């Protein structure tokens, strides 16, 4: 299908271009916006593969929640990026070396998989095995074969969440907090007091 080919090349080009712009943009907020573009076009690529459930999850979770918080933080931080760039030339050779090693590794792995690995044996992975929609297919695998890994991942997230709360929650003494239950339970009896004052004497505490 030529339409699919056009869509694929468009999405792939946008993904890669946005990825490059993430690292080369001068303004960090622009970087995050390009990152969101990259996520979004990657979701488009998933749709082209027939994996619409993964695509929507990518958009809901990464673009809709994670990247929003990312943007939130980057907008509020006042990072001096000129200062961060100062050591750039100094670290350039070492960084370049690491990048080269990773690039060679990736090329070798991709070549091996394409020539005699899984990709060569099974050229087109089926997005909906056995005729069921891939949402159901993923659910069946996730909640049967990999249920322990799934639970384990949930536990890791729970630990991270509790850790974040423990690290940031502080009860400062002297801060007035609103207790809605207490407010609602307030009656005239608890809230006010009628006092008979004798003239000329006033009230003593």
Under 8 Å between Cβ of 104 and 113: no
Q: How far is the CB of 30 from other proteins (least distance, A)?
A: 8
Q: Based on CB atoms, which residue is closest to other proteins, 11 or 36?
A: 36
- Please tell me the count of residues contacting other proteins according to CB under 8 A: 27
Select the span of 49-57, 77-85, 148-156, 157-165 touching other proteins (CB under 8 A).
49-57
Interaction of residue 45 with other proteins, rule CB under 8 A: no
Minimum Å gap between C-beta 35 and other proteins is: 12
Name which position in 122, 178, 183, 190 contacts other proteins (CB under 8 A): 178
Min dist CB 152 to other proteins, Å, is 21
Q: Which is nearer to other proteins, 101 or 162 (CB)?
A: 162
Q: DSSP for the chain, please give it.
A: -HHHHHHHHHHHHHHHHHHHHHHH-SSHHHHHHHHHHHHHHHHHHHHHHT-HHHHHHIIIIIIIIIHHHHHHHHHH----HHHHGGGHHHHHHHHHHHHHHHHHHHHHHHHHHHHHSHHHHSSS--SSGGGS-HHHHHHHHHHTTTHHHHHHHHHHHHHHHHHHHHHH----TT-----HHHHHH--HHHH-------TTT----
Residue 133 in the binding site for other proteins (CB under 8 A): yes
Instruction: Give 98 or 169: the residue with its C-beta nearer to other proteins.
Output: 169
- Positions touching other proteins (CB under 8 A) are 1-3, 27, 29-30, 33, 36, 52-53, 56-57, 59-60, 63-65, 68-69, 71-72, 75-76, 133, 135, 178, 180
């Amino acid at each position: 299908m030529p339409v699919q080919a056009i869509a694929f090349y468009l999405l792939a080009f946008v993904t890669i271009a946005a990825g490059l712009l993430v690292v080369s943009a001068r303004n960090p907020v622009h970087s995050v916006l390009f990152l969101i573009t990259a996520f979004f076009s990657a979701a488009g690529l998933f749709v082209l593969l027939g994996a619409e459930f993964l695509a929507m999850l990518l958009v809901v979770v990464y673009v809709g929640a994670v990247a929003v918080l990312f943007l939130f933080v980057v907008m509020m931080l006042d990072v001096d990026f000129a200062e961060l760039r100062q050591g750039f030339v100094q670290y350039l050779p070492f960084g370049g070396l690491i990048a080269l090693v990773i690039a060679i590794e990736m090329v070798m792995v991709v070549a091996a998989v394409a020539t005699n690995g899984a990709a060569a044996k099974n050229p087109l992975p089926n997005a909906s095995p056995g005729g069921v929609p891939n949402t159901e297919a993923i659910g069946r695998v996730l909640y049967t074969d990999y249920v322990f890994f799934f639970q384990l991942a949930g536990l890791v997230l729970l630990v991270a969440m509790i850790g974040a709360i423990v690290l940031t929650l502080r009860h400062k003494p002297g801060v007035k907090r609103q207790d809605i239950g207490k407010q609602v339970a307030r009656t005239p009896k608890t809230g006010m007091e009628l006092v008979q004052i004798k003239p000329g004497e006033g009230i003593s505490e």
